[in-house]
Every structure is written in structure tokens, then in C-alpha cells.
Amino acid sequence: MAKLTTQTLAPDAEGLERAAALLHQGALVAFPTETVYGLGADAGNDRAVARIYEAKGRPSFNPLIVHLADLDAVKDLVVWNDNADAVAQAFWPGPLTLVLPLRDGAKISKLVTAGLDTLAVRMPEAPVARALLHAFGGPVAAPSANRSGQISPTRAAHVLEGLSGRIEAVVDGGPCQVGLESTILGLAGKPTLLRPGGITLDALSETLGARVAERRDTEAISAPGQTRSHYAPRASVRLNATDWDPGEARLGFGAVDCDLNLSPSEDMTEAAANLFEYLHRLDALGAHTIAVSPIPHIGLGVAINDRLSRAAAER
């Protein structure tokens, strides 16, 4: 892969116009959403999408999420249904991705769906993401802007750590508000939670008026990105630490003495927003192990524990 110079663009009108022009040329542009930074490419351009896989070093069977700014554009790509309507009304724009049947003739590269007959669609809320999607005027395929298997980026600096020299540009919009990837809800058949995230299972079940099923890890992989070892820092990760061993980097939660505290006041929203940044920072200290306090398995804690257990999985 030829080495590129990665430009950092400001999130103003000029920077976003430049970013949109680059996308039209088939370039790769990382940009902030409210969840994590995405690595964007024109979803209709096979070569551009292929370059996402190359830049990330990602297994090519892994399908991508397509980002759009308005509902009519979404409905051009997927077969819409009542469940989709209900959750979109409640949570879009926001940190929720829907998997729906791909429409015949939708102008989406086959590399985006990795050959599946469904498409993952999302309407992000972050103003910079929305402005970029408007400026570009079409679907943008974007996985998280990290090298495959590494921690998701919640700041432009994280993107550059992994992808500098491999992509054309990053739009620096500051830290991401939510800090965890979007919830993925399968709606091609029976509503099924494919990945926990910023919108909780309870909130989705309430909106749909029925308990949403959870995909179990042993089931056939319909969200192939959900391999067990994912979000891996260099250090090994020890979960549910109620005391600290010598030499460990200490990631706390609540009233504990530690190196970095996800949320001293046990605020789950704050903890989610800090999670990836703090894993990055503790990993940079070079400790052999990052030990993490127990996180209550309620609300956003479910998604936080999902990411932590993947970071701790054997690899």
C-alpha cells in the first residue's frame, strides 16, 4: 500500500466541502459521529469500499454500516417495515443501526454487504456527521476508524494513531459524545439485538411493544464483526477487579483508588464516553495488564461490559 499524507480537516464549511469532494473522488475520510469515529467511503464505489478493508486490515467477510442523512434516502436502499418505522421515529437520528432487507437495484457496492441480502443503515446525530452526509449527498459506508481488532477511536488522535498514512483525511470534530458503537437491531425478521450499544434493549423492547430477542454468541454469525476477541488493547485485560495487583494499570469505576476512573459518581453515560479513551491511555503506559473495576450490568453497562469482555477475550 502506497503511503499517503493524511490531512486533518476542520469541521467547518470549508473542511466539510473538502471532505465531501475527497469522498466523491473515491478517497477515505474519517469523521466523527456521536458513537465513535467512522472511516468513510462512497458506498456506491467498489474501489473506495475495497480500500476501507485494506486500510483497516479487516477480514473481507465483514459487512459495513451505511450512513445517511435523511429517511427517504434510507428507504431507497432497504425494504422498510413498521418495526423500522417505530424505532426510527423514537431513536433517529441517533446511535442505532437497523439491519433490513436490501432493495433490488440499490446502488450499493457488493463489498458493503459482503454478499448478504441485508443492509445495515444508520442515521447519525452528531452535527459534523450530518453536515458531511449532506455535503456528500449520498450513502457513506463507514466502519469504526481503527485498525481491525484494535480499540475503537473516540478522538481524531486515535484515528491517526492507527490509520495515519493509510487514509486521505480525518475531520477533527473533537471527542465523541456516546463513546460506544451504535446498537445494532436486526429487523429483517423477528427483531433481534445483534450488538448492544448506546440504545438499550429495554428501550427498544418498550418502543416495539415486545421483548427484543438477543443474538447469542453461539448462534450463526449474522453480525460477523462480533468475533469474541475485538477491541483489543496491547495489554491483557482483567475484569471485575475488586483489588489491584502490583504493576497493573488500574481502570476504576465508582469510589475506588485507581489510575483513571470511568466515572467516580457511577454515571453510566460518562463511563461509556470515557471507556475507549481511557483504554487507549492506560495501554500507552505499557503495563502488562489493565485491571478494571466491576461495572453494573444495567442500562449502558450492558454495552460497556460487552466491549470489556471482548477486550479481555483470549487472542
Residues in contact with Mg ion by CB under 5 A are 144
- Interaction mask 182-221, ligand TXA, x per CB under 6 A: x-x---------xx--------------------------
Stretch that binds ligand TXA, among 118-126, 160-168, 247-255, 298-306 (CB under 6 A): 118-126
Closest CB to Mg ion among residues 20, 159: 159
Residue 167, phi-psi category: left (phi > 0), alpha (psi -120 to 50), beta (remainder) = beta
Stretch that binds ligand TXA, among 9-17, 18-26, 161-169, 222-230 (CB under 6 A): 222-230
- Interaction mask 132-151, ligand TXA, x per CB under 6 A: ----------xxx-------
Find the length of the chain.
315
Closest CB to ligand TXA among residues 6, 182: 182
Which of Mg ion, ligand TXA, none interacts with 250 (beta carbon under 5 to 8 A by kind)?
none
Which of Mg ion, ligand TXA, none interacts with 99 (beta carbon under 5 to 8 A by kind)?
ligand TXA
Q: Using alpha carbons only, what angle is made at residue 109 by residues 83 and 50, rounded to the nearest 5 degrees?
A: 125
State the burial class of residue 167 (Cβ atoms within 10 Å of its Cβ: 0-12, 13-18, 19+): buried
Judge contact between 36 and 152, C-beta under 8 A: yes
Rounded-to-integer distance, Cα 235 and Cα 237, Å: 6
User: In angstroms, what is the minimal distance from the CB of 255 to ligand TXA?
Assistant: 31
Interaction between residue 119 and ligand TXA (CB under 6 A): yes
Instruction: Map the footprint of ligand TXA across residues 61-80, applying CB under 6 A.
Output: 62-65
Interaction between residue 302 and ligand TXA (CB under 6 A): no
Q: For 70, how many CA atoms within 13 A lie in the half-sphere containing its CB?
A: 8
CA distances from 253 to 258, 259, 267, 287 (A): 9, 11, 9, 19
CA distances from 70 to 56, 74, 89 (A): 28, 7, 12
Closest CA to 77 of 53, 98, 47: 98
Interaction between residue 181 and ligand TXA (CB under 6 A): yes
User: In angstroms, what is the minimal distance from the CB of 34 to ligand TXA?
Assistant: 8
Interaction between residue 118 and ligand TXA (CB under 6 A): yes
Which of Mg ion, ligand TXA, none interacts with 236 (beta carbon under 5 to 8 A by kind)?
none
Rounded-to-integer distance, Cα 276 and Cα 282, Å: 10
Interaction between residue 36 and ligand TXA (CB under 6 A): yes
Judge contact between 169 and 22, C-beta under 8 A: yes
Judge contact between 163 and 144, C-beta under 8 A: no
Closest CB to Mg ion among residues 211, 228: 228
Q: Which residues bind ligand TXA (CB under 6 A)?
A: 33, 35-36, 38, 62-65, 97, 99, 113, 116, 118-120, 122, 142-144, 181-182, 184, 194-195, 222-226
